[in-house]
Amino acid sequence: MDAVAGVPLPLEEVLCAGFLDAWIPMQRADGGSAGELHLTFKFVDQGVPANIDEQQSEMAVEPEGPRATKLRQTFEKSLSKTIKNISYEKLAQSFPHIANDSPESLQSAHQQVTTFLQQSVQVPIQSHLTHDMPLHQHPEEFQNLLETKNLIRKLNELDMLIDAARKNKQARLGKLVRNRISAHFSATHSADITPDIAIRARTVPIKQQEFQRLQDELARVRQENKTLMSELVAKKTRLDLVKTTVREISNELSQVGLLSFPLYRTRKQAVEISRRMPIDDMQHLIDEMVPSLQRGQWGFGEGSVVR
């Protein structure tokens, strides 16, 4: 069936003919004719095996196991990505001259091929899988592979063999544990158990609970110590700040000779008094003196000193 450039052909005619011939005119860079490009798309019907009905009847009652489900999902995902990647842009990159000289012809060929793949490669069939899907979309080639190779039944047999091997392994492990426990109690007969052993066995859960309680208490004490250490660091920082402030005040007072008063005869005595003074009292004293220091005036009792 011949396809004229730029004129889409009905899909029914393409499917009935089984092939598609596309004649795309070519042009040179100077605008002259360079002949035509002939593209042929052939669609071959591979036929149906003679025993397909028997295999379908066998597979119709075959449930879908985990591996069959995963195989179906993998194939459907791969096919979906393949059809999605058949884009006109990628076809144009493969045939840049055709895309430039006759984009309508290339678009027509891309549309017909994509439509053919979507409608003829995927065929609706009665699902043989018992997963609440009465009708499922399966590619024809994939369906033929499932039926001719009887993959569903073989994959289900593989699932059953692996499941049986897993259960046998668990049964062997359970039997081995039971045999060891039985051997232990046989070796340690109840008549050989002394009162001390019986008491220790009885007190083990109690000791375990006590051990857990002590662990929790230790964690609580450590948290309290951490909190107290944080408070201690904060108080030490505050004390250092107070010491620095007192030292600065002492320097200011020494410059005006206030340390010659009887109460503050030397700087050493002033610093010693500030060290013995409680932090709260020292902070209160600083709060009272700072405004006066900022104004340049200090008051002591009835008198005052102006800087």
Residue 229 lies in a domain: yes
Alpha-carbon 222 to chain mean position: 35
What 8-state DSSP symbol labels residue 57?
A: H
Domain count of the chain? 2
Give the torsion through C-alpha atoms of 71, 77, 83, 87, to 10 deg.
-150
Question: pLDDT tens digits, residue range 63-112?
Answer: 788 888 888 888 777 777 777 777 888 878 888 888 888 888 888 888 88
Q: Which of 25-29, 41-45, 100-104, 289-293 has the highest mean pLDDT?
A: 100-104
Tell me the CB-side half-sphere exposure of residue 249, using CA atoms within 13 A.
24
Q: Which of 75-79, 259-263, 266-270 has the highest mean pLDDT?
A: 75-79
pLDDT band at 45 (very low <50, low <70, confident <90, very high): low
Give the whole-angstrom CA distance, residue 247 versus residue 275: 11
Domain that holds residue 6: 2-151
Entry pTM: 0.33
Whether 216 has a pLDDT exceeding 90, the answer reads: yes
Q: Is 285 in contact with 243 (CB distance < 8 Å)?
A: no
The backbone region for 277, taken as left when phi is positive above 0, alpha when psi lies in -120 to 50, beta otherwise, is beta
Q: Taking all residues of the chain, what is their mean pLDDT, rounded to a whole number?
A: 68
Burial class (CB in 10 A: 0-12, 13-18, 19+), 202: exposed
What are the phi and psi torsion angles at 68 (to 5°)? Answer: -65, -40
Residue 23 lies in a domain: yes
pLDDT on residue 115: 76
pLDDT band at 261 (very low <50, low <70, confident <90, very high): very low
What length does the chain have?
A: 307
123 and 226 in a single domain? The answer is no
Q: Which of 98, 123, 151 is the last residue of a domain?
A: 151
145 and 219 in a single domain? The answer is no
220 and 142 in a single domain? The answer is no
**Alpha carbon distance, N-terminus to C-terminus of the chain:** 114
128 and 37 in a single domain? The answer is yes
Lowest mean pLDDT of 25-29, 102-106, 221-225, name the range. 25-29
Residue 180 lies in a domain: no
Please indicate whether residue 75 or residue 187 has the higher confidence score (pLDDT): 75
What are the phi and psi torsion angles at 260 (to 5°)? Answer: -85, -5
25 and 96 in a single domain? The answer is yes
Specify the 3-state DSSP secondary structure of 2.
strand
Specify the 3-state DSSP secondary structure of 279.
helix
pLDDT band at 260 (very low <50, low <70, confident <90, very high): very low
Please indicate whether residue 251 or residue 15 has the higher confidence score (pLDDT): 251
Give the whole-angstrom CA distance, residue 19 versus residue 84: 23
Lowest mean pLDDT of 54-58, 71-75, 117-121, name the range. 54-58
28 and 123 in a single domain? The answer is yes
Whether 303 has a pLDDT exceeding 70, the answer reads: no
